[in-house]
Each structure stands twice: as C-alpha cells, then as structure tokens.
Chains A and B, each alone.
Chain A
Amino acid sequence: MTPLSNRNNQNAKPQVSFKQEPYLMANAVFAGVIFLIILYTAIFSPEKNNYPVACIHEKITGEPCSSCGLSHSLSLILRGRIDEAYSWNENGMAVFIFFVSQLIFRIFFSRIYIRYPGLHKQLIITDIIGSFIIFLLAFMPFIVSILKWI
C-alpha cells in the first residue's frame, strides 16, 4: 500500500522556484531583453529616421558595414514591409527570425523544464546547441565580414 504522503506528491504539480532554477531565471531575462529589442524596432519609425543608435564603424572608418540599416530593416519587417526591409539590409530577416525564434524558445523550453524535471540536463544541452546553430545561421554574414576585416 502506498503511503498517503507519496500519493499526494504524485498528484501535486512540480513546484519550481525561479530563484532556485538559474535556467528559468536566465530564460526570463533573455525573453525580456528580446521583448525590449522588438519594442525598440516598433517604437522607432523608419519614416522619421529617429533611431538613437548610429553605426560607430561607419563614423570611424567612413565606410558602411554589413549591419548598416539593420534597425530600419527590423522595423520594416515588423510593419510587414518585407521588400523595403531587404533593400535596407539583406540580413534583416535572418536576424528578425533569430530574435522571434529565441522568444518562442524561451517560453517553450521553460514550460518543458517545469513540466519534466527529469529532462533538465538534456533540455539545456538541446537548447544551447539549437540556439547556437540558429545564431550562427542568422549572424554568419556579420561574422564573415568581421573575419574579412581582421
């Protein structure tokens, strides 16, 4: 016969504290940062051209870099003007997909982490590998341009 306390434990949902789970805390912070990036692209308008961040590289060298026009491009994608976004920066769509996918990943992986306590290690490894591959795919043109300069 199963003791009463054990039966209660089986029925109860796993209690997870954010403070005791660094992975969940990190996910929450990253989700917040990505949300702020999306908010930034939504607030600043490509028509008004009121972006506060200017290309430091262009200011120093006088030559445009591979990430110039990225803010414009992200703003235009958010507004559904895909063709115009490509004209500002070809890599804008890849970067946008990276940020959106990461936002979805943070929510999705956090839910699985809470629901399946036995899969924590595998989940974190999958998350790291998956996110790194998507990061490389999205940011490869920038990495290549930096390597070319060096």
Chain B
Amino acid sequence: MEETKSNSGQSLGIAALITAIITFVIAVIPCIGLIAIIPGIIAIVLASVGLSQATRSESPRGVLVAGLIIGIVASLISISQYLVAGKFADKWPNNIEKIVNDVQENVIKELEDANVSIKVENGDEKVEIIIDDNKKDKEQTLEELEEGSSSENDTLIKPE
C-alpha cells in the first residue's frame, strides 16, 4: 500500500519562513529595527500553528522549524534594540521637561509679540483697540479708558 505524505502546515511554514527572513533583515537595520518585533511575532505564531498541524498529521517540519528559529532570533534582535532605547529612557524625563519649558516660553513670547485687536460694538458706537509692538502704551490707554468710563453696568455683581 502506498503511503501518501501530508502537506499539512506547509503553506504556513512558507509564510512563516518568508516573514521571518524579512523580519531578520529589518531587525538589523537600527533605524527600523524596533518595529521588527511585529512581523517577528507574526512569524513565530505562523510557525507555531504550522508546527502543531504538522505534528498532528506527521508531515515534514523542516521549513516550519527554520521559520520559527529565524523568527525568534529576529525578534530577539529587535527586543535588544528596545533595551538600548530603554537605556536612553533615563534621560527622557529631563528632556521632556526641557521641551515642555521651551514650548511654554515660545508660546508666551509669541503671545507677547502678537498683534491683538479688540472690537466692541454697541448699536451705532464702535470702539476698536489694536495692540501691536507698542502695546505697553495701549495697555496704559486701555486702563485709563476703563477708569474714566467705568459705570455701574461694568461692575461685577457678586451672587449672595
């Protein structure tokens, strides 16, 4: 009686091997090595599923084992780069604090230098205040105006 070899898991094996080899190439490129963990995990999962199928049906497992080993090695290389990034992580809090402070200073400076215009309309009357580079003078003028023309309506009534 002729014995037929089952090819169960072979397609998964090829997919795992191809993914693992591509992962390996990505993993050794420092710029993108960190993202190699994703295809690495995919390769390991594919190879593991294929291996379980092949074991049940007693079909050849060479390609699957190769895919699994290369996938694991590639993932380890990628993980090692995470560890490298982790070493730099100690410096992160200081850097982030510095960046936030810089951004805050820039925003405040931008606001100080900004040209601001305020328009107030009351029926036919229209008042426009433009604050530009010499805004200090304008601020003073605004304060003087407020002092001179303040009325009961402008005062804030506190709730009892």
Contacts and interface: CB of A to CB of B under 8 A. Distances in A.
Interface of A: 22, 25-26, 29-30, 33, 53-58, 60-62, 65-68, 70, 135, 139, 142-143, 145-146, 149-150
Contacts, number: 71
Contacts of A58: 31
Given A61-B88, A62-B95, A149-B84, A26 B14 contact: yes
A139 B87 CA distance: 24
A16 B131 CA distance: 81
A57 B83 CA distance: 12
Interface stretch (B21-29, B101-109, B112-120, B148-156): B21-29
A68 B31 CA distance: 6
A54 B31 CA distance: 7
Q: Is the interface of B mostly helix, strand, loop or mixed?
A: helix
A142 B28 contact: yes
3 nearest A-B residue pairs (beta carbon): A65-B30, A55-B31, A149-B84
Contacts of A135: 25
A139 B117 CA distance: 60
A60 B10 CA distance: 39
Given A55-B31, A135-B25, 15 more contacts: A22-B63, A29-B18, A30-B21, A33-B22, A56-B32, A57-B31, A60-B34, A61-B88, A62-B95, A70-B31, A142-B28, A142-B29, A143-B28, A146-B80, A150-B83
Nearest to A102: B25
B110 to A, nearest CB: 25
Contacts of B77: 146
30 contacts: A22-B14, A22-B63, A25-B14, A26-B14, A30-B18, A33-B22, A56-B31, A56-B35, A57-B85, A58-B31, A60-B85, A60-B88, A61-B88, A65-B30, A67-B31, A67-B32, A68-B31, A70-B29, A70-B31, A139-B28, A139-B29, A142-B28, A142-B30, A143-B28, A145-B30, A146-B30, A146-B77, A146-B84, A149-B81, A150-B83
A61 to B, nearest CB: 4
A150 B17 CA distance: 27
